[in-house]
Amino acid sequence: MEKTGFPLWLRRHWPGLVILTLMSLFPFLAGLAMGDPAAVPPEIQGVGRVLALAETGRAKFWQGMVIQMFILAVFAMSYDLLLGYTGVISFGHAMFFGTGGYVVGLLVKHAGWSAGAAVGVLLLVALLQSLMVGALSLRVKGVYLAMVTLAFAEFFYILAEATDFRQYTGADDGLHGIYPPPFLSPTDHRTRFYFLALVFFLTMYLAARRLVNSPTGRVMVAIRENEARAAMLGYNTFVYKLVALVAAGVMAALAGALNAFFNLGVTPSVLSVATTIDVLAMTIVGGAGTLTGPVLGAAIVHLLGYWLNRLFGQTWVLLFGVTFILIVVFLPYGIVGTVQARSWRWRAVWRERWRRIKEGRKFPLPS
Amino acid sequence: MEPRIVLETRNLRKEFNGLVAVADVSLQVREGELHAIIGPNGAGKTTLFNLISGVLPPTAGKVLLRGRDITGLPPHQIARRGIGRSFQITNLFPNLTVLESVRLAAQARGRRSLYFWAHYRRYREYEERALAIIHQVGLAGREHIPARALPHGDQRKLEIALLLATGPDVLLLDEPTAGMAAGEIPLLTDLIRRLREEGGRTILLVEHKMDVVMNLSDRITVMHQGRILAEGTPAEISADERVQRAYLGEL
């Protein structure tokens, strides 16, 4: 009998639920495992003690690591909407991430706006920016598109570094002192910020998943596969590429805003080509054309960067480069992409074996 | 009563750096007919299709669909006006399954392609239409195989399925049997014959296999070096001496 309703739903989604549970428990588990007991007064006991421990020692640090991973994961997913799902190679994705940081930074620090209002305005700004960049760059394809988007990103990078606006942007020093509302402060209430980042990540993941599984998302995939043929079916491919770019741009801008609030500031480096290369690496390592791929890629790249940096100091970039080459050579579709492709084959092989066994029983070979 | 002209080209011309691929071709395709275009390699047949379907802009001349000028429109607009096209060289979505490819073609007909907030499986009608067409072209049982993994004959069938799913009323078939195994060809010609007999569709067919053309066509246009050499019923064409000479290479 076919299972229906909740049991079926549970059966299909249990891995996601397990991961979600672990993500939700992480701050407290980290607090118990790595918190600093000496920093918590002994009179605090029970649940209160667990909550307090999560704000201390290495537990606090590792929550910060995971918050940064959530932010980078959203950024990488947004890039994959272009690269992996629509086949659009943009070299200027950092521009949206950086815009997110600078827009909320300028509004919160210099205009004295609340964080919520700043994010609201950012949505509008990111929408207009991605529409404008898309309208101008999506007319060309391939390398030319990469170059046009790169030029746009460099424009914003130069703008952020320009000494003429030092009193607003801080030029090459960056814009510091971008504070979220005190009750969400990443320094005083790390666990609260962790849950803010977790909810943000989940929302963006579900939104991206819905987009790629929507009629629009299917057309995006068709464009990746064969743009000319999609047009011959009657799709105005420009419109669909623009939708992908706007979705990716807004998502990246929101990730950039959260990044600025978490780090309490932005520097021009978030707008640099290096940021785009990082997000490209995360997407490719994890697996372009999947959503879990960029998430995993962001986590791996961030962790690897941290550990290699601790173990080898300045040469870590070189070691990371070598690792990246090895992954691309041995896992050409990224980690998730390669596993998916292989498991498909494994499953087919096992299904075939099982079929033969069953048929063998039905029709025993004549002796 | 004179049959209506559905598709017409007027002095359509295409030059590539001075090389004339299509030289002032004026063609009239009547409603509901199967009109074949034949001619030796390099006669300009595929270029003519590219001009009609908007893949290439013509150097001069006009394309009219039901009397309306569609010259120079982008391919997606021409497709939405009801001209569908299949390709001589297999031109598919390599990593999409048969069902997903045809479903996308069916979706292209509707007006829901920008519903980015809904799950695509909510619109069962596209999937049902795709399944019906997959069955019609003889690809049943292969719905979940990616296009790149299909044998060549099945890729040709998928090509036709993509075309049919968009529901065009003018079909441009560019050598649908190209590269197909001899045993598979009757299946395809049967399909084309059925499409014609169902009515409501006008078919423009480029084909090399003479028996296929003679069997199926209502009218035949012979092209040679970018020009129209002759036009008529299959009987008239097979009796035409100039056509025979063109094929033997004496012209």
* Residues A252-294 pLDDT 10s: 999 999 999 999 999 999 999 999 999 999 999 999 999 999 9
Chain B hits for A87, CB-CB cut-off 8 Å, are: none
A332–chain B nearest CA distance, Å:
16
Query: Rounded mean pLDDT of chain A?
Result: 92
Give CA–CA dist B244/B227, Å, rounded.
16
| Segment among A56-65, A208-217, A218-227, B189-198 with least mean pLDDT | B189-198
Chain A hits for B74, CB-CB cut-off 8 Å, are: 231, 236
- Beta-carbon contacts of A62 under 8 Å, excluding residues fewer than 6 positions away, are A30, A34
Give CA–CA dist A271/A169, Å, rounded.
13
Find the mean pLDDT for residues B203-213. 89
Burial (CB count within 10 angstroms: exposed 0-12, middle 13-18, buried 19+), residue A141: middle
Tens digits of per-residue pLDDT, A237-252?
Answer: 999 999 999 999 999 9
Number of domains in chain A: 1
CA atoms within 13 A on the CB side of A108: 28
- What is the SS3 assignment for B204? strand
Contact flag B116-A214 (C-beta cutoff 8 Å): yes
Tens digits of per-residue pLDDT, A11-34?
Answer: 888 888 999 999 999 999 999 999
CB-nearest to B108 from A217, A228, A233 is: A233
Tens digits of per-residue pLDDT, A133-160?
Answer: 999 999 999 899 999 999 999 999 999 9
A interface residues, B as partner, C-beta within 8 Å: 210-211, 213-219, 221-222, 225-226, 228-237, 239-240, 243, 247
Domain presence at residue A139 = yes
- What is the SS3 assignment for A115? helix
| pLDDT over 60 at A194, yes or no | yes
Q: Strand B170-174 vs strand B202-206: parallel, antiparallel, or unpaired?
A: parallel
Task: Report residue A73 as tokens.
Answer: 């994961």
| pLDDT over 70 at B248, yes or no | no
| pLDDT over 60 at B129, yes or no | yes
CB-nearest to A234 from B100, B118, B166 is: B166
Tens digits of per-residue pLDDT, A324-365?
Answer: 899 888 888 899 988 888 887 777 788 888 887 777 665 555
| pLDDT over 90 at B180, yes or no | no
| Cα–Cα separations (whole angstroms), residue B187 to A268, B97, B147, B180 | 64, 22, 20, 11
| pLDDT over 80 at B8, yes or no | yes
Residue B129 in contact with partner chain A when CB distance is under 8 A: no
| Cα–Cα separations (whole angstroms), residue A56 to A37, A264, A282, B23 | 8, 19, 30, 81
Task: Report residue A152 as tokens.
Answer: 């746009």
Other C-beta atoms lying within 10 Å of the C-beta of residue B145: 16
One-letter amino acid at A140 equals V
Domain presence at residue A6 = no
Q: What is the DSSP letter of A203?
A: H
Chain B hits for A230, CB-CB cut-off 8 Å, are: 93, 104
pLDDT given at position A3:
58
Give CA–CA dist A282/A245, Å, rounded.
19
Contact flag A222-B104 (C-beta cutoff 8 Å): yes
CB-nearest to B104 from A219, A243, A247 is: A219
Task: Report residue B243 as tokens.
Answer: 């056509």
- How many residue pairs bridge chain A and chain B with CB atoms within 8 Å of each other? 94
Q: What is the DSSP letter of B120?
A: G
Contact flag B114-A243 (C-beta cutoff 8 Å): yes
Regarding an ipTM greater than 0.85, the answer is yes
Domain presence at residue A198 = yes
Domain presence at residue A22 = no
pLDDT given at position B184:
84
Share of chain A above pLDDT 90, in %: 75
Contact flag B112-A215 (C-beta cutoff 8 Å): yes
| pLDDT over 80 at A226, yes or no | yes
One-letter amino acid at B178 equals A
Chain A hits for B100, CB-CB cut-off 8 Å, are: 218
Task: Report residue A182 as tokens.
Answer: 């005190």
CB-nearest to A218 from B55, B91, B120 is: B120
Chain A hits for B120, CB-CB cut-off 8 Å, are: 213-215, 217-218
- The answer to whether B188 and B178 are in contact (CB under 8 A) is no
CB-nearest to A233 from B77, B105, B123 is: B105
Find the mean pLDDT for residues A2-12. 77
> Can you point out the beta strands (E) in chain B?
5-16, 19-30, 34-38, 60-65, 68-69, 83-86, 170-174, 202-206, 219-224, 227-232
Domain presence at residue A282 = yes
Tens digits of per-residue pLDDT, A118-134?
Answer: 999 999 999 999 999 99
Chain A hits for B107, CB-CB cut-off 8 Å, are: 215, 218-219
One-letter amino acid at B143 equals E
pLDDT given at position B178:
84
Question: Among all residues of chain B, which has the CA nearest to that of A209?
Answer: B119
pLDDT given at position A358:
73
pLDDT given at position A239:
96
Question: Among all residues of chain A, which has the CA nearest to that of B124?
Answer: A215
Contact flag B74-A219 (C-beta cutoff 8 Å): no
Domain presence at residue A82 = yes
Domain presence at residue A29 = no
| Segment among A56-70, B16-30, B47-61, B233-247 with least mean pLDDT | B233-247
| Cβ under 8 Å to A: B residues 175-204 | none
Give CA–CA dist A33/A18, Å, rounded.
20
Give CA–CA dist A84/A78, Å, rounded.
10
Boundaries of domain holding A234 = 74-332
- Going by pLDDT thresholds of 50, 70 and 90, the confidence category of residue B119 is very high
- Going by pLDDT thresholds of 50, 70 and 90, the confidence category of residue B1 is low
- No. of helices (H) and no. of strands (E), chain A: 14, 2
Chain A hits for B96, CB-CB cut-off 8 Å, are: 221-222, 225
Chain A hits for B148, CB-CB cut-off 8 Å, are: none
Domain presence at residue A343 = no
Helices (H), B98-184: 98-109, 124-136, 152-165
Tens digits of per-residue pLDDT, A53-65?
Answer: 999 989 999 999 9
One-letter amino acid at B75 equals P
Contact flag B53-A226 (C-beta cutoff 8 Å): no
- The answer to whether A298 and A72 are in contact (CB under 8 A) is yes
Task: Report residue A155 as tokens.
Answer: 């424009």
